[in-house]
Structure 1
């Protein structure tokens, strides 16, 4: 008995069929996407430039509806890539506890952001209404975190000054009430030999819920050439009982200090006072601690060559 052979398709026929099938599908898709459709698409909204004295509600609108009349390619582009609309609240008007942003008055800006033509499209809403609450305002003192290392022979009479030395902030009452100051960012200035004049930002890294009316301050300091001086000063012991015969050594100490060159000649030994307080002696000690209790206001880095003053009580 003769067996029938199964019909075979030629490879070239399969390839041809597949090509025309894919080609037909592509042509169909192109034709469908080339047609004009009308569809409403949700455009996400983000808010910028919120007035510093206001906090916008979490219930604010998160999108606007765009009615788009265009070919399928454009519509699916907006669906998949979903461009975002930025709403500038500094352009909104205030009305009964709400910020009202007119979309119709900002169509040209919206066109640029969304890359659309409003001849064939429109924003369904006329305006965006954003509820808000007023923030509490307060002045906070600015604390400098500026570490200065002066070059040899240079120093400053006055601490670093800030301008402004206080800044206005606004925010939730519970946070505002807990603050009295805000620090600057930490900076280090090394080998300084000229007047300081710069700008530094505020460290608001942990204060994200607050709005700062100023984010930077200026800093100043006069830096001058200094020299070191010294003076021999008699040690004075105070609060010694009248019936006590106290002998101590040394009787004098050397005070070292830094002073502006222009004021060097103005310093004399009479400007300093060094004392030991007998009442501060601890039981069993045979020495007192010398302290500088008077010095000119314009000298700094004052120190003693000897702080321990030995003593004995004579019988």
Structure 2
């Protein structure tokens, strides 16, 4: 017969609860073993696991009777060792009710691109959202989670970087499903090309001829060289809408780019308005 003390490690916290503390973190036990088992068994701060999924609950208080945790400790002893006696105290637990919700991740990434290189498509965040679990009053106002700031200088090729998620000190009882995300993007070499486009005139009064000065406007496009080679002026549309004048007497009218081909990184009209005259037919 020998006396020992077991440190208690708590596992399997019930769903929707967060373990805070227990009334005891160790128990004294008396053991009996055959032969030299005591010599081979280290009693000093021996750790045993207490399964919190087997807790009883009454009046919002969680507890484990000596019978419950005695059986759990016995199941973790070697077969040649028997538990003879144990502290007769009921274990009480403070548990905090929590809830879970899914929120998007916002990555703080500063891209410093090499000359003539641009981000090809959208930057990806993997995962793009995380589950946060905590007390309702802590997480109710959380609409998104931010990453730490990441700066990527002189980029001329694709990237894939791991970045930490930021957690406010005020969220002391809140946990994330993950604390890191992967930020990915494709970088491609781009070129520029200017297209001369005719102006389509719409909603002008009937019975008049409309002439603009100039008749064509320029649009500056950025895209991969392959894309620029495959598109033509017919893939665009520039419109001058008479209704945009809003009953003013101006001789200038705004022009708008209303149609662009797919694959462009950007497109910009170099003239935002043109002069026009009306002539009765």
Give TM-score, length-normalised by structure 2: 0.68
Counterpart of 2:240 in structure 1 is 276
Which residue does 1:246 correspond to in 2? 210
1:157, 1:299 within 8 Å by CA — same for their partners in 2? no
Other-structure match for 1:96: 56
Q: Is the 8 A contact 2:236 2:259 kept in 1?
A: yes
Q: Secondary structure at the match of 1:299?
A: coil
Unpaired segments ≥5 residues, structure 2? 1-9, 29-46, 74-86
Q: 1:308 to 1:125 in 2, by over 3 A?
A: farther
Using the alignment, how far apart are the partners of 1:99 and 1:160 within structure 2? 49
- Give the gaps of 5 or more residues in structure 1: 1-46, 68-87, 106-123
Residues in 1 aligned to 2:233 and 2:63: alpha-carbon distance in whole angstroms: 70
Q: 1:152 aligns with which of 115, 122, 126?
A: 115
Size of the aligned set, in residue pairs, is 231
Residues 112-191 of structure 1: pairs in structure 2 closer than 5 A: 129-191=92-154
Taking a change above 3 Å as real, the CA distance of residues 185 and 297 of structure 1, as seen in their structure-2 partners, is farther
Match of 1:202 in 2: 165
Deviation at 1:254, TM superposition (A): 1.4
Could you tell me how far apart the structure 1 residues matched to 2:224 and 2:15 are?
A: 46
C-alpha distance in 2 between matches for 1:54 and 1:260: 53
Q: Distance in 2 between matches of 1:138 and 1:237?
A: 52
CA-to-aligned-CA distance 1:194-223 (integer Å, 9 cap, x gap) = 101101122322661421110110011111
Counterparts of 2:278 and 2:186, CA distance in 1 = 50
SS state at 2:228 partner: helix
Q: How does 1:82-93 map to 2 (within 5 A)?
A: 93=52
Which structure's residues are more often helix, by fraction? 1
Q: Supply the RMSD in Å over aligned alpha carbons.
A: 3.7
Distance 1:158 1:199 in 2: 19
Is 2:201 aligned against 1:232?
no
Cα distance in 2, alignment partners of residues 225 and 192 from structure 1? 11
Q: Give 1:177 deviation, angstroms.
A: 4.2
Q: Deviations over 1:91-113 (max 9, x none)?
A: 6523135376x7x97xxxxxxxx
Give 1:150 deviation, angstroms.
Answer: 1.7
Higher strand share: 2
Evaluate the alpha carbon distance shift between residue 125 and residue 305 of structure 1 in structure 2; reply closer, same or farther with a 3 A threshold: farther
Question: Larger C-alpha radius of gyration, 1 or 2?
Answer: 1
Contact 1:92 1:99 in 2 (8 A): no
The one-character-per-residue Cα deviations of 1:101-132 (angstroms, maximum 9, x if unpaired) are: x7x97xxxxxxxxxxxxxxxxxx896853221
CA distance in 2, matches of 1:236, 1:276: 6
Question: Higher mean Cα deviation, 154-163 or 172-181?
Answer: 172-181
1:286 aligns with 251
In structure 1, the partner of 2:229 is 265
Q: With structure 1 as the length reference, what TM-score do the two structures score? A: 0.61
Secondary structure class of the residue paired with 1:262 = helix
- SS of the equivalent of 2:120 reads coil
Aligned partner of residue 195 in structure 2, secondary structure: strand
Partner of 2:156: 193
Give a deviation string over 1:236-283, Cα, whole Å, max 9, x none: 122212144433211111111111133332121111111122211242
Would you say the 8 A contact 1:236–1:276 is kept in 2?
yes
